[in-house]
């Protein structure tokens, strides 16, 4: 049996979420690095810190990997602001788009090619 150390999955230097508020009041969360089991709670905290009634854009342009825990955090984010708002996801990475399509999350969350399109 192989034991995995979670520090090897993702370290704090590999992942970041930066919150930006637009002049119109929308919250844009810029995600960089791997969005996985080790880092998904940080995205969920950032969503909770954003205004619940404002549109929230999760920019995955800098995201290098998305697993089921990351997808769960996107769905939880959508549930946490309903019915007040909607989560908009930004990505053009074909690997991440494919994961969103296969799982059907792209039918629950609005997926855009740029932050400007999402706003």
Contact status, residue 110 vs residue 80, Cβ threshold 8 Å: no
The confidence band for 3, taking pLDDT boundaries of 50, 70 and 90, is very low
Number of domains forming the structure of the chain? 1
Tell me if 52 is assigned to some domain.
yes
**pLDDT tens per residue, range 47-97:** 988 866 678 999 999 999 999 999 999 998 888 876 666 789 999 999 999
More confident residue, 102 or 12: 102
Tell me if 59 is assigned to some domain.
yes
Tell me if 86 is assigned to some domain.
yes
Contact status, residue 29 vs residue 46, Cβ threshold 8 Å: yes
**pLDDT tens per residue, range 18-45:** 998 888 888 899 999 999 999 999 999 9
Range of the domain at 49: 18-118
Tell me if 7 is assigned to some domain.
no
How is the beta sheet containing 27-35 ordered, strand by strand?
16-21, 27-35, 56-66, 87-90, 110-112
Tell me if 81 is assigned to some domain.
yes
Contact status, residue 97 vs residue 119, Cβ threshold 8 Å: no
Tell me if 9 is assigned to some domain.
no
**pLDDT over threshold 50, residue 9:** no
Give the H/E segment covering residue 9.
helix 6-9
Contact status, residue 87 vs residue 106, Cβ threshold 8 Å: no
Distances in whole angstroms, Cα of residue 3 to Cα of each of 36, 38, 40, 65, 118: 18, 16, 21, 21, 41
Domain with residue 67: its CATH number is: 3.30.750.24
Q: Which stretch, 11-20, 84-93, 105-114, has highest mean pLDDT?
A: 105-114
């Amino acid at each position: 049996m192989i034991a995995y150390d979670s520090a090897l999955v993702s370290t704090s230097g590999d992942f970041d979420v930066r919150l930006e508020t637009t002049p119109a009041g929308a919250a844009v969360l810029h995600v960089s690095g791997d969005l996985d089991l080790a880092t998904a709670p940080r995205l969920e905290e950032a969503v909770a810190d954003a205004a619940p009634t404002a549109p929230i854009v999760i920019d995955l342009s800098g995201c290098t990997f998305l697993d089921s825990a990351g997808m769960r955090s996107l769905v939880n984010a959508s549930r946490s602001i309903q019915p007040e708002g909607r989560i908009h996801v930004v990505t053009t990475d074909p690997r991440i788009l494919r994961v969103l399509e296969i799982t059907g999350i792209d039918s629950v969350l609005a997926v855009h090619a740029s932050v400007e399109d999402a706003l």
